[in-house]
Amino acid sequence: GGILRPEVELAACMGIQTFQRAGEIARWYVDQGYGTLKTKAGADPQEDLEMVRGVRDAVGDRLQLRIDPNRAYSPTQAAELARQLEPYGLQYFEQPIPAEPLEDAVWLRQQTSTPIALNESVVDPASVWEILRRGAAEFLLPDTHIAGGIGPCLKIGQLGAAAGVPCIMHCGHDLGPKTAAMVHLAAACEAYSLANDSTYYGLVEDITVKPLVIHRGRIRVPDQPGLGVDGDPEKIHKYAISEVTQA
C-alpha cells in the first residue's frame, strides 16, 4: 500500500486543430510545463496528419504526442494513417478503430510500428486480460466510471504491470472528485507512471471547497482523508441537473 510518487504527471488535451493552430497550442502547453499532449482526431486522416505535423514542426520532441480518433476509422484506414504517422514518433495511437472485434486491433498492431493504445475496448479487468492475452495493445486506458471504480482500475494496472504494458488513466472533463480518484490511483500503482489524461486545468469552477492545484503539468496527491477533496454544497446545488433530456 501507500503512494509510489508524491505527484502525478498529467497530459494536456487538445481538440482537432489546423496545422497552424496545433502548433500555437503546442507551444503554449510547453510554456506551461507540460511534457505530453493528447489530441482528438478522426475527422479526416490527412487533417490528422497535418495536425501532427503542426505540433512537431512547432515544438519538435519537447512533447510526447498521442492522438485519439475515437474509433473513427476502419482497420484499413487506421493502418494507412498509422504508417504515415511513423516518422512523427507518436507515443501512441489511441483506439482508432471500433472496440470490437478485438482481432482487428491485433491485426492493426502487425501493420505498423506506431504503438496502438486501447480505451473503449477496456471495460473491466476481464476485457484487459483478453487484450493482454492476445497482444492487442501496447498501452491501456481505463476509465474509473466505465471499469467500475478505483478497485477495478487498480486491478487493470496490476495486470498491465505484470504484462509490461503501461496504463494511463483516461479522462472525460472530470470534476475534482473523479480527478482526485485518478490521482490517488496513479500515485499508488506502478503501471500508471506515464502522464495521465486530464482536462481539469480547463474548468471554470469545480464543485469542491478547494480546487486541486496543477503546477507545471503535475498535480500533488491530496493528503486529506478519503479522496482528499470536500464537496461544496452550494456549488453542487448550483450545477445539479434535475433531469436529462435528449434531442
Q: Which residue in the block uniquely carries the three cell numbers 464537496?
A: 231
Residue 245 has pLDDT above 70, yes or no: no
245 belongs to a structural domain: no
pTM equals 0.93
**CA distance linking residue 67 with residue 219, whole number of Å:** 23
**CA distance linking residue 9 with residue 136, whole number of Å:** 26
Length of the chain in terms of residues written: 247
202 belongs to a structural domain: yes
156 belongs to a structural domain: yes
49: CATH: 3.20.20.120
Once rounded to an integer, what is the mean pLDDT over residues 22-40? Answer: 98
Domain assignment of residue 189, given as a range = 7-239
Q: Which three cell numbers stand for residue 60?
A: 519538435
The per-type count for the chain, helices as H runs and strands as E runs, is: 9, 9
140 belongs to a structural domain: yes
Residue 8 has pLDDT above 90, yes or no: yes
Query: How many domains does the chain contain in total?
Result: 1
244 belongs to a structural domain: no
124 belongs to a structural domain: yes
Tell me the pLDDT tens digit for each residue of 118-173: 999 999 999 999 999 999 999 999 999 999 999 999 999 999 999 999 999 998 88
pLDDT above 70 covers a percentage of the chain that reads: 98
234 belongs to a structural domain: yes
**CA distance linking residue 210 with residue 189, whole number of Å:** 26
What pLDDT score was predicted for residue 246? 66
206 belongs to a structural domain: yes
Q: Which residue in the block uniquely carries the three cell numbers 475534482?
A: 176
